[in-house]
Amino acid sequence: MKRKVFAAVTSLQVAQLAGVSQSAVSRTFTPGASISPLTREKVLKAARELGYRPNAIARSLNTSRSRIIGVVMSYFDNQFYPQVLEALAHRLDALNYHLLLFVSDSDVDRIFDQIMQYRVDGIVLASTTLSHELSGECLATGIPVVLFNRREESGTASSVNSDNENAARQIAEFLLAAGHQRFAFVSGLADSSSSQARQKGFVEALARHGVNDIRVVHGNYDTQETQRVASALFSSTPPPDAVFAANDHMAMTVMDVARSTFGLRIPEDVSVVGYDDTAPASWPSYELTSAAQPVDEMVDAAVALLMKQIDSGIIEPEQITLPAALIVRRSTRQVRHEPTESEGVTLFQSQEV
């Protein structure tokens, strides 16, 4: 049985039914355009009767704006990034922009041409980064790029991060205050700027207190890799009595290995700290002490950077760093001096950082 194909309703048909100009129809469906309430109501009524929907692709050709922001992510095991994605989608939607998600490994260059085919107005890279060459190409073509929870050394792209180094120093001070003596750090990917900064802050803070024997192992943000290196840590003699992992996902994997494979008690035998303060960190089965990234503030900053550069047509890369707070839960021993309380959350602020 053949189905009848109906031609798409045009803006001209809407204009004729509403008794207005075609430009009035266009202004009705253009955010922020000037249109009288009476004319707007006539157009919307005609559009409902005819089943008209504006063509976003055609409009983008006319305005040179797609109102699409390309977002590239590569690592969804960590609950931090789904949280970021949701916040970004809501923030962009409020500005009548649309989020187009691309899922890639750490090599964004591989899908760069695909991203550009969608005529995106801007790009957010989370859990990944661009090469120096492609960052320069985006700069030359006027497409703003914001790295989220990442940084690249050339400074050709904007970035928004929490203060990774300072938060890691806070973690070191906290663990020292709790009387720990044997430390380990579980790193993320070798090219992850956030993992590098967290390792640097942690190791340097411990070194200031004369602690230089720090086990650094590579979990690579991967469950199996983290299980393997955690098993190696707890099989060593003596094993660490404090482990800081570069994110919550790896920290919780370390906790699982410590308890299930080695029968260790947390925090009596070993304290474990993560980074991000994702939702599972507060679950009763983990109660993970973690450095909380200010997701809403970071998303607001990233979107504000994009909008400023899109609206002005001027790309001047900016690097924004926001403070992180150490949220203390039961995966770590109590410190000798009490942490502070704020809105029902336990915080730690070292006096030496």
* Region 306-325 average pLDDT: 91
Per-residue pLDDT band at 151 (split at 50, 70, 90): confident
Most confident of 21-25, 126-130, 225-229: 225-229
Average confidence (pLDDT) over 34-60: 79
CATH second-level architecture of 68-162+295-323? 3-Layer(aba) Sandwich (3.40)
Which neighbouring-strand residues pair with 271?
A: 242
pLDDT > 90? residue 128: no
Pairing of strands 340-342, 345-348: antiparallel
Please answer whether residues 206 and 218 qualify as being in contact, where contact means their C-beta atoms are separated by less than 8 angstroms. no
Res 154 pLDDT > 90 = no
| Separation CA 49–CA 14 (nearest Å) | 9
Of 198 and 39, which is predicted with more confidence?
198
What pLDDT shows up at residue 111?
74
Domain extents in the chain = 11-54, 68-162+295-323, 164-288+329-348
CA distances from 239 to 187, 280, 290, 322 (A): 17, 26, 21, 34
- Higher pLDDT residue, 108 or 322? 322
pLDDT above 70 for 55: no
pLDDT band per the 50, 70, 90 thresholds, residue 352: very low
Among 201, 203, 226, 198, CA closest to 213: 203
Question: What pLDDT sits at residue 105?
Answer: 67
Give the model's pLDDT for residue 202: 97
**What is the Cα–Cα distance from 52 to 47, expressed in whole angstroms?**
5
Distance CA 156, CA 133 (A): 10
In angstroms, the CA 147 to CA 81 distance is 13
CB 120 within 8 A of CB 107: no
Q: Are 241 and 267 in contact (CB under 8 A)?
A: no
The alpha carbon dihedral of 172, 286, 296, 95 has a sign of positive
Q: Mind listing the pLDDT tens digit for each residue in 261-309?
A: 999 999 999 999 999 999 999 999 999 999 999 999 999 999 999 999 9
Strand runs labelled E in 174-236: 183-187, 214-218
Give yes or no for residue 349 having a pLDDT over 70: no
Average pLDDT, the chain: 86
- pTM attached to this predicted model: 0.79
The pLDDT confidence band at residue 337, using thresholds 50, 70 and 90, is: low
Q: Are 288 and 252 in contact (CB under 8 A)?
A: yes
pLDDT at 125 over 50: yes
Residues 248/324, Cβ–Cβ less than 8 Å: no
| Residue scoring higher pLDDT (272 or 112) | 272
In this chain, the answer to whether the domains covering 68-162+295-323 and 164-288+329-348 adopt an identical fold is yes
What is the reported pLDDT for 56? 59
Q: Contact at 8 Å (CB) between 88 and 125?
A: no
Instruction: Domain 164-288+329-348: give its CATH superfamily.
Output: Response regulator (3.40.50.2300)
Does the structural domain 11-54 have CATH classification 1.10.260.40? yes
**By the 8 A CB rule, do 171 and 291 touch?**
yes
